[in-house]
Chain A
Amino acid sequence: MTAFLQSEFFHNYCRSSSAMIGSGLMAFFALAVLIGPFLVAQNPYDNATLNLLDSYKPPMWLEGGDPQFPLGTDGQGRDVWASILYGARISLFIGLVAMIASCTIGTVLGLIAGFYGGLADSIIMRIADIQLSFPSILIALFLMSAVGTGIDKVLIALTAVGWVVYARTVRGSTLSEIEKEYVQAAKVAGLPNTKIIRKHVLPNVLTPLIVIATIQVGTFVLIEASLSFLGVGVPITKPSLGLLIKNGFDVLFSGLWWTSVFPGFAIMMLVFGINLFGDFLRDELNPRLK
């Protein structure tokens, strides 16, 4: 731990305001989704705690606002602040799980394509090329309309979109790693290919993935929000931030702006924080920029 505190990485972190703001925002959302729901009185998805009489209350600092609902309420009398805390939980969960799945699948395919080359390489990379020539939201939309909606379906759609970037990156670094003499040394030592990949290639291709993975969580949160906004995302019973925006959007022009603007602002800050921190990681971990 002390070694980390004395490292150049930590030193630069302390001097980079964007890294501090980014990681601060990320920490805020992490805390919010972990302990936030215990801090608010209302569970917006437990109908027993809702009261229709509380519907469409404005934020507390406006006329008619109620300190019990700091950011106002929606049509069912749900507290917008509580909905954001619960919604961010779902958005982040989807973003993280889809990222881990994409990263795992993409890395494995990239390793296979890069290490073995030949036919496997051609097939994997052509699929990736085709995939990249469609806008990712279109692929997700297409998949969702084919397999239906639900959190699991959203995860499948995001993973199907997300693996390509890992596969391409890993394949590229694998190709340059296997030219290095330590991989040849492992061959001369008599290591089987699977072991060479696991012990030698994999640990040395992971660093650039950290940056991609970080930023991808933000991207996935956005794609999921778009899908939910278009009505093919998460079900109505599990409203993510995107679905909150959609629900509020219906009444946005009736002057009831708070039901969609606050969730929208939450997404913005979340993705902004992730991207700021991701950029810092990119600068730190990419030796060519140093």
Chain B
Amino acid sequence: MTEAAKQPLLDVHDLRTHFHTFGGTVKAVNGVSFDIAEGEVMGLVGESGGGKSVVGFSILGLIDSPGKIEGGQILLDGEDLVKAGEARLREIRGREISMVFQDPMTSLNPLHSVGRQMDEVLRLHSDLDAQARHSACVEMLESVGISRATERLRAYPHQFSGGMRQRVVIAIALLARPRLIIADEPTTALDVTIQSQILKLMRRQIAEKGASMILVTHDLAVVSEMADRITVLYCGNVVERGRARELIEAPAHPYTRGLIDSIPDPSNRHERLKQIPGTVPDIRNLPQGCNFRDRCPRAQALCAEIEPKLSAQRGSLSAACHFPLNPGESA
């Protein structure tokens, strides 16, 4: 299975989404490019302020004032979503692309029963009759592990626990058989035992339905278990991307290395964690050159002058760094 042979389902090219606030322009996403093949899981990783959620919202055309997509292309099967009108985007949302958020309550309407909300999706995005829609809903709820589905369809969101609600949201996201699912921190609010249930469920459903997924998260451990490829964001830029295992085991960018090293892991016996010094710079006031240089142990004079461009490194990796790491080298 080679990704190169497939035509990408989604191709994001040089996406720039800026927010014009009173305090200045926040360049939340500033030239992000990546692509996703059919059936692939892409992990979008970064810390808060990295712009990872804004990428997801931009793809769905959900950027509200004061935010604006300032440039770039989002090609879904060759169709540019940046140029698409609101009517076309509404058609695409739910049918072609659906979304799973961190807090299930934000995507469920507390006033309507789960069944009604599921039915609505099918009414909008399919031409099934009422009977067929009902059985499709029951089948979907059962497939996400909710027992007594016929009965549970009549229940309201507050009658479900947090984990069950997230299952419902996933069921709704999968209902119209979308080709791409954007999951924004889908398990961050959940406990570990529930998280592992949900992650297993998502993996299985995606494989069964042949959908692709963008998994937006801060948790490298979660993406490393889920994703085929990983894109790492820092201050609105892609700093590194590549196949998941390669990137986790021997990253080329010092930021990725730092992120991985700062995760405490039971198999790692160091008394002190390796930490990335300093904090994320103010995104309204980014330094010239490389955004990461103030926190980077490898930074040299060149890094202050020229912003590194994303370029191919060893294997499947590409990184935006003047002095990339070799395998086994620490930052």
Q: Which residues of A contact B (CB under 8 A)?
A: 8, 11
Provide the bound-state CA to CA distance between A11 and B23, in Å.
11
Bound: A8/B23 CA distance, A: 8
Report chain B residues within 8 Å CB of A11.
22
**What are the 3 A-B residue pairs with the smallest beta carbon separation, nearest first?**
A8-B22, A11-B22, A8-B23
Q: For residue A8, which residues in chain B have a CB less than 8 angstroms away from its CB?
A: 22-23
Q: Closest approach, in angstroms, between the C-beta of B124 and any C-beta of chain A?
A: 29
Bound-state CA distance A8–B22 (Å) is: 6
- The total number of A-B Cβ pairs within 8 Å is 3
Shortest Cβ gap from B118 to chain A (Å): 30
Query: What chain A residues lie within 8 Å of B23 (beta carbons)?
Result: 8
Q: Mark B1-43, 1 if CB is under 8 A from A, else 0.
A: 0000000000000000000001100000000000000000000
Minimum CB–CB distance from A47 to chain B (whole Å) comes to 57
Nearest CB of chain B from residue A283's CB, rounded to whole Å: 14
- CB contacts (< 8 Å) of B22 on chain A: these are 8, 11
Output the least CB separation between A289 and chain B (Å). 14
Residue of B nearest to A6 (CB): B22
Q: List 3 A-B contacts (CB under 8 A).
A: A8-B22, A8-B23, A11-B22
Contact with A along B165-184 (1 / 0, CB 8 A): 00000000000000000000
How does the 8 Å CB contact mask read for B284-326 relative to A, with 1 for contact and 0 for none?
0000000000000000000000000000000000000000000
How many Å from the CB of B277 to the closest CB on chain A? Answer: 27
Q: How far is the CA of A8 from the CA of B66 in the complex (A)?
A: 14
In the complex, chain B residues 216-252 whose Cβ is within 8 Å of any chain A Cβ: none
| Shortest distance from the beta carbon of A81 to any chain B beta carbon, whole Å | 43
Smallest beta-carbon distance B285→chain A, Å: 16
Q: How far does the alpha carbon of A8 sit from the alpha carbon of B24 in the complex, in Å?
A: 11
**A84 to B23 Cα, complex, angstroms:** 45
Min C-beta distance of B311 to chain A, whole Å? 41
- In the assembled complex, the Cα of A11 lies from the Cα of B24 at a distance in Å of 13
What residue in chain B is nearest A12 (Cβ atoms)? B22
Expressed in whole angstroms, the minimum distance between the Cβ of A35 and any Cβ of chain B is: 36
Q: Chain B nearest CB: distance from A258 CB in Å?
A: 48
CB closest chain-A residue, reference B21: A8
What separation, in Å, do the CA atoms of A262 and B268 have in the docked complex?
A: 83
* Min CB–CB distance B216 → chain A (angstroms): 25
Nearest Cβ distance between residue B296 and chain A, in whole angstroms? 34
Least Cβ distance of B16 to chain A in Å? 24
A11 to B22, CA, bound (A): 9
Measured CA separation A11–B21 after assembly (Å): 12
Shortest distance in angstroms between B19's beta carbon and chain A's nearest beta carbon?
13
Contact string against A for B residues 122-137, beta-carbon threshold 8 Å, 1 for contact and 0 otherwise: 0000000000000000
- Tell me how far the C-beta of B22 lies from the nearest C-beta in chain A, rounded to whole angstroms: 4
Task: Give complex CA distance A195, B23 in Å.
Answer: 36
CB nearest to B22 among chain A residues:
A8
Q: In the complex, which residue of chain B has the Cβ closest to the Cβ of A8? A: B22
Closest residue of chain A to B23, judged by CB? A8
Smallest CB-CB separation from A11: which chain B residue? B22
